Amino acid sequence: MPQIVYKIGLFIFVFILSLYSIELSFISSIFLLVISISNKISINVMVASLLLIVIVVLGILSSYGFKYQLFGTIKDIVYFIRPISILLASYFVVKRIKSKTFLFNTVVAIALLFAINHLFNIVINITKIDSYVYLRSLGGKQNHIEIVALVFLFFTPYPTIFRKYRKLLIAIISISFLLYFSRTMFVVLFIFYLGHKGYLFLNRKLIKGFMFLSIISIALIVLLSNIEANRNSTGIKAFIHKTQNTFIELFEPIDTETLLKDRRGLWEHWRAYEATKAIEQMNNNGTKGWLIGLGFGSNVDLETTVKLDGKLFDEVSSIHNGFVNVAFKTGLLGLLCYCLFIIHIFISHQKFSTHNKNVLLNKLIVATSIYILFNSLVITGFYRPGEFSIFLYGVLVGLKHKAELNPINIKDVH
């Protein structure tokens, strides 16, 4: 098939992934996979795909005996198959494209489009911006294509078609990146910084990296704890309060009855609240609920009515905590496969487990595993539309496999 077909397919695919559409990203990934698939596949991608397939099988089997709505069941099946199709499509199409820089040019170009659109919306609405919440509404809560673009621009040596304007390009995307005020985006970019420096490999540097991260975290906690901010704060203090509340929102034990009586604190504990409700439902379904979950088509009963994205809900099909979300649908067996998936990526691309001389790709792939781990705690992991970790893993392993079959010199940069 002509190279132009693969290139157009990849460009459209990356653009659609940025649109937060489950349906469009699933359809485009299936199409791209069909036109680019080959009989040669990396053992690492094969193992990763099989683990995700087992999760899908568990979800289908555990639905047996429940009378769920057909639409909800089909929606969940697509929801859980989509990462597999994205992974394989990303992997195979990158192997098909002969250009060494087209992938990077595509990601950077699309990120630039979104960044310009984001900044344009801010400029034309600048007189209306009266709060941190309104500012975030102008571009969405986050945009992961900009993270991937900055990872490529900061941490890889590949030239882009914009190399004459590289500094301007980085400035535009970086300003847009900052104005999302997304805690997740900041942490993910920092993860790739650590990965690029080699602090995520299993060696002495990992210990140094852990100590460095601990010192930074403690300093940040101390700094933020000395700033007075609350749920009624406005401007930058609203963002500071949200950052202060991160640990509480994710991990602090909660009394759901108290939260429902005093709903002012519900949103500050929302992620923990919905995860608690999911676990309660699993527990109510006994051994089957814990072993293989409640299956595809199941919903988490919130036991209250809440307004999400402008609509009222008393139950939701997915929750923010990706680990609990997988366990709710597929039980502890599915959760085990999900954790093994992350561990597999982390371990199989360590220095000691590969003969590939292109260490840079290994660094980025290992960082991607931590990207998945972190996102699984806060935004449902790679099952969430608009999240790019599974795409990034696919293309990086594709590049690595292509380099092994046709050796190229990818120089590390520091």
Task: Please give the chain's pLDDT, 414 residues, in tens.
Answer: 789 999 999 999 999 999 888 999 999 999 999 999 998 898 999 999 999 999 999 999 999 888 889 999 999 999 999 999 999 999 999 999 998 889 999 999 999 999 999 999 999 988 887 777 777 777 777 789 999 999 999 988 776 666 778 888 999 999 999 988 888 898 899 999 989 988 888 877 777 777 777 787 677 666 666 666 555 555 555 556 566 555 556 555 566 666 666 666 677 777 888 888 899 999 999 899 999 999 999 999 988 888 777 778 888 998 888 999 999 999 999 999 999 999 999 998 886 554 545 688 999 999 999 999 999 988 888 999 888 999 999 999 999 888 776 655 544 433
- 243, amino acid identity: T
Domain positions in the chain: 3-206+344-405, 214-316
Q: Considering just the CA atoms, what is the radius of gyration of the chain in Å?
A: 22
Q: Is 8 exposed, middle or buried (0-12, 13-18, 19+ CB in 10 A)?
A: exposed
Return the pLDDT at 307.
78
- Percent composition of the chain: helix, strand, coil (DSSP 3-state, to 5): 70, 5, 25
Residue 256 has a pLDDT of 64
* Predicted TM-score (pTM) of this structure: 0.87
CA distance 5 to 48: 27
Asked if residues 297 and 73 have their Cβ atoms less than 8 Å apart, the reply is: yes
- pLDDT value, residue 223: 67
The DSSP-derived string for 146-178 is HHHHHHHHHH-----TTGGGHHHHHHHHHHHHH
Measure the CA angle with vertex 254, ends 253 and 256; round to 5°. 150
pLDDT at 414: 36
DSSP helix/strand/coil, 315: strand
